[in-house]
Structure 1
Amino acid sequence: MKMLKLTKILIAKATWRGCGKHIPSALGSVPEDQWCICTPKVTVNGKEYPPAGTVSIPGAAFAVLLSVYLIRCFLSSLWKVPGPRISAFTSLPLKWHELQATRTKYIHKLHQQYGPVVRIAPNEVSFTSYEAIKEIYCSGGSGYDKTEFYDLFKVYGRSNVLRPVPLGGIQERSQKFINLCKTSVGKSHDIFMSLHSYACDCVTHHLFHPYGSNCLEDEADEEMMHQVAADDSLQNRLVQHYSPALHKLLSRFLYLFAKPRETPLADTFIIESSKKPDPAAFTLLSRLHDKAGQGLDQLDMAGECLDHMAAGIDTTGDGLCFLMWELSQPRSLRFQDKLRLELRENPGVAFDKLPFLDAIVQEGLRCFPAIPMSLPRYVPQGGRLIDGYFIPEKTIVSCQAYSIHRINEDVFPEPDAFNPDRWMEPTGDAERKRLMFAFANGGRGCVGKHLALAEMKTLLTDIYTRYTTLPETSMTEESMAMSDQLISSRPLGQRCLLQFVPFGEKRE
């Protein structure tokens, strides 16, 4: 209230009548030898002020508004939160890194520099502690609403994937991937697109069965999937999200450096598939049909399925790609050999009963989370105390898996090293699981993790029972650098060439 009153007074002073060219020097702090003598002293509320100084009214108005903004920044309860000082005044550095697809690593560097609590924008704070995770996302975080960021995508989820029919669909598609491996022996194969095809076939099986895609064998379906997986509309969608008016104004020119999202083949596939009758009972389409009489029309169902398909393709496809790339590196071949030994010594054993396979997947998700970036929430009414700092209501707070899995070195020693053996240690298991944030936490986390884990473990079992994977010589660490997208992070080069060497053959 005091701030509002001060603002009104300052703006009132900025509109005093003088000679028409100058404003009161008291406002502009103009030296006496520069005072204007065009007009007599100014009287406001019975008090006299010096005559106007040589400052323009527009300039003074800007100075007033800037002063008010700076005062608000200095008086904010977030002023004491650690972070680069510029983050207290503008979100431009954060938005710049979002446009450059480097937001995740930018925030992680800030955590490395400032600790577990970092202010990343005037109204946004990032956390990495378990206490913050529990407060924001779990039972203690009741009332933390999702921000408008989630208008950009929706997360796919289904928890019944281990039933015979759904799991059989995953196993069938895994065998189709193995057929591609067989034809690739003696040469390299780009697993980036093939893994996205596998993920697309699996997720559409759970969306539409028996009307799912066949990207691993059908070129038309593969082209449809390619539109989704190779989408380069990140910058365009961010501009539209942050400034719809600017996006509309510049739409004719924006496409030159920021492509719009164009997935006509996927749109057609989804629309046609969502019209199909009698989908299997376990599918999302079946459940949406059950809600058709509750105000959910055909277009609503198609839109829901398209969002789910895109999310299901990227998270699993990218996560598997990074994991198989790491397993293929010379530094990690011992883990690949150890995994193969477990698989070959336990034929027919369910994948959820194989401890080292689980360790491989857990470490893969720790190093390459399915959703590595921030998951923002609004602080509820009245504000909250998080990690010792009072955070006012409507402040955006978040945690990102990429940093949580690396900052807490007491739980994850040598956090940048890929080491599945850490998950086999008898001590510290509870702490490790508590800080695993690959699929988020709490009641509104990604329950689609059940599908993703089933897809990952099924395919890894089928591949590493039969093959050793090695990187193609033209591949570089730089081309496999993480490039942020809206929901997942993909390889910068959008390809990953591996060689598949049949078990028993000599490695080169």
Structure 2
Amino acid sequence: MTLKQPYNLTKVHEKHGSIVRYGPDKLSITDEEAIKLIYQSGAKFMPKTEFYDAYGAAHTNIFGMRDESAHSIRRRHMSHSFSISYVKEMEQYLDANIKILRGKISEYIASNQTFDLKKALHYYVIDALGELAFSQTFGIQVSDDESVAPPVIEHSLLAAVTGAWPMMTARLKRWLPLIPHKGLNALFDGRKVCADLASRCVDVRLNAVRNSGDSKASSSERKDILTNLINAKHPDTGEHLTQTDLETEAFGFIIAGTHTTSATTTLLFYHLLHHPDLMAKCVAEIDTNLPPLQEDEGSYSTSIAVCNHAFHHNPDVFGVDHNVFDPTRWDQQEIANKSKLLMHFGLGGRQCIGKTVAMTNIYKLMSTLLSEFEFELADEKERDGPSQNGSVGDVPELISVGISDLARPLLVKASKRTRVSS
């Protein structure tokens, strides 16, 4: 596996058009008209394939559920935990972890040290996920111990391998662990580490809820995402989710909640660092709209798929400058009208349930860090312009483990900003 499938598919689409066959029973589509048909109006007639079975551990979670009615009920169970009102209730825990990140960056500044912003953001997101989902920080920002980080990339790579042949996914999941191959065994070991972590988190929260003497918990107890799920009931039977169900969803929180947000924020920083004019415009907007932070503040016959990266880089949809980092494109009405087609969180009933949590995290991170610090690329040569990577535009070298991620560290230096209060 090269971790390059989305980018290879994009090149194939550039050569052959909006519909390409990339396997004996697989079609990839980037045509604009197909989006509504597949993800919205036609969702019930185009169910998920066995590909999604590859993304669970022992059992499928909400991401992998292929039964539409079961998926709908599980989304109802979880909807409040991902609503904007819930995010506001839990905002203090995001702020506490952003404050730790700010402290780490200040230490790097004090020692005039180059640091990997990609890793710093990833560690923050892991701790923030622990707070929101399980009422506990994983402590990786403080310990700076990479071994504490859940090996979600190993799981995602394993899922990509076993899901690449949907009709064989179940057999591959059963028999591949028996093959004495070091690399393959490492992927299964990584998935087990994530699954075991999920099980421990569920045990801790179940015991806390039981010890409260009330399954609904007291009004003063933190109601994290997992606790809300523990208290959820089936709308028809009144039954609670089993411990296996809870462990399956907790596993999903760890996989989906740690890597996606940090990878997205890292790419955003990458582009801003390579476009100082846009960085300055972004910082000026933050200064205009947000007051300075105070010292004590934190912050099935044929499988049809749409490759997000390939679709978002279809020039027939998003223009010939689709590879160029230009946020002002959305000021053009013709392009703005296409915003409803953006699929970075999926669409329709398959839209990521954690979108609100992720976007809140990204906005808080960017506004806080850009308000307080000035960042620059550590490599002076790299400051001259973005890597062209053999193509026209700003797209850096990427790898994909379910979401596009920088293929290398984002090494930066930082300094404190001085803002004048208005």
* Equivalent residue, structure 1, for 2:261: 316
Once residues 108 and 36 of structure 2 are traced to their aligned partners in structure 1, the CA distance between those partners, rounded to angstroms, is 46
Shift of 1:272: 2.7
Once residues 52 and 226 of structure 2 are traced to their aligned partners in structure 1, the CA distance between those partners, rounded to angstroms, is 20
Shift of 1:462: 0.6
* Equivalent residue, structure 2, for 1:159: 82
Shift of 1:136: 0.5
Shift of 1:189: 1.3
2:229 maps to a residue whose letter is: R
Once residues 174 and 198 of structure 2 are traced to their aligned partners in structure 1, the CA distance between those partners, rounded to angstroms, is 27
Shift of 1:480: 5.8
1:339 maps to a residue whose letter is: C
Residue 170 (str. 1) matches residue 94 (str. 2): yes
Structure 1: stretches of 5+ with no match in the other structure: 1-98, 350-377, 379-393
**Counterpart contact for 1:134–1:140, Cα < 8 Å:** yes
The aligned runs of 1:73-472 (5 Å cut-off) are 99-153=1-55, 155=63, 158-163=81-86, 164-185=88-109, 186-209=112-135, 211-219=136-144, 223-225=147-149, 227-229=150-152, 231=154, 234=157, 238-239=161-162, 242=165, 244=171, 248=175, 251-256=178-183, 259-263=186-190, 266-275=194-203, 276=205, 277-278=208-209, 280-291=222-233, 294=239, 296-329=241-274, 332-348=275-291, 378=300, 394-409=301-316, 411-425=318-332, 427-472=333-378
Residue 489 (str. 1) matches residue 408 (str. 2): no
**CA distances 1:411-450 after superposition (whole Å, capped 9, x unpaired):** 344011101111233x225423122111111112112111
Higher helix share: 2
1:491 maps to a residue whose letter is: L
Q: Which has the larger radius of gyration?
A: 1
Shift of 1:488: 1.7
Once residues 176 and 142 of structure 1 are traced to their aligned partners in structure 2, the CA distance between those partners, rounded to angstroms, is 45
**Counterpart contact for 1:411–1:431, Cα < 8 Å:** no
**Superposition CA RMSD, Å:** 3.2
How many residues get paired? Answer: 356
1:475/1:261 Cα in 2 relative to 1: closer, same or farther (>3 Å)? farther
1:288 maps to a residue whose letter is: I
Once residues 188 and 492 of structure 1 are traced to their aligned partners in structure 2, the CA distance between those partners, rounded to angstroms, is 18
2:407 maps to a residue whose letter is: L
1:290/1:256 Cα in 2 relative to 1: closer, same or farther (>3 Å)? closer
Aligned sequence identity (%)? 19
Once residues 89 and 12 of structure 2 are traced to their aligned partners in structure 1, the CA distance between those partners, rounded to angstroms, is 46
1:238/1:123 Cα in 2 relative to 1: closer, same or farther (>3 Å)? same
**CA distances 1:376-409 after superposition (whole Å, capped 9, x unpaired):** xx5xxxxxxxxxxxxxxx3111112212211134
Shift of 1:284: 3.0
1:217 alignment partner, SS class: helix
1:480/1:414 Cα in 2 relative to 1: closer, same or farther (>3 Å)? closer
1:183 maps to a residue whose letter is: E
**CA distances 1:272-295 after superposition (whole Å, capped 9, x unpaired):** 321222363352332234349736
TM-score (norm 2): 0.75
1:337 alignment partner, SS class: helix
Shift of 1:461: 0.4
Shift of 1:472: 2.1
Once residues 374 and 130 of structure 2 are traced to their aligned partners in structure 1, the CA distance between those partners, rounded to angstroms, is 29
Once residues 423 and 339 of structure 1 are traced to their aligned partners in structure 2, the CA distance between those partners, rounded to angstroms, is 15
2:199 maps to a residue whose letter is: I
Shift of 1:215: 2.4
Shift of 1:177: 1.4
1:453/1:128 Cα in 2 relative to 1: closer, same or farther (>3 Å)? same
After TM superposition, the structure 1 stretch with the greater mean CA deviation from structure 2, 239-248 or 333-342, is 239-248
**CA distances 1:218-262 after superposition (whole Å, capped 9, x unpaired):** 456x5322x425537725862587453698378443224663232
1:234 maps to a residue whose letter is: L
Once residues 192 and 103 of structure 1 are traced to their aligned partners in structure 2, the CA distance between those partners, rounded to angstroms, is 22
Shift of 1:474: 8.8
**Counterpart contact for 2:121–2:265, Cα < 8 Å:** yes
Structure 2: stretches of 5+ with no match in the other structure: 56-60, 64-77, 210-220, 293-299, 390-394
**CA distances 1:59-93 after superposition (whole Å, capped 9, x unpaired):** xxxxxxxxxxxxxxxxxxxxxxxxxxxxxxxxxxx
* Equivalent residue, structure 2, for 1:95: none
1:260/1:414 Cα in 2 relative to 1: closer, same or farther (>3 Å)? same
1:196/1:229 Cα in 2 relative to 1: closer, same or farther (>3 Å)? farther
Once residues 254 and 172 of structure 1 are traced to their aligned partners in structure 2, the CA distance between those partners, rounded to angstroms, is 43
1:498 alignment partner, SS class: strand
1:411 maps to a residue whose letter is: F
2:103 maps to a residue whose letter is: N
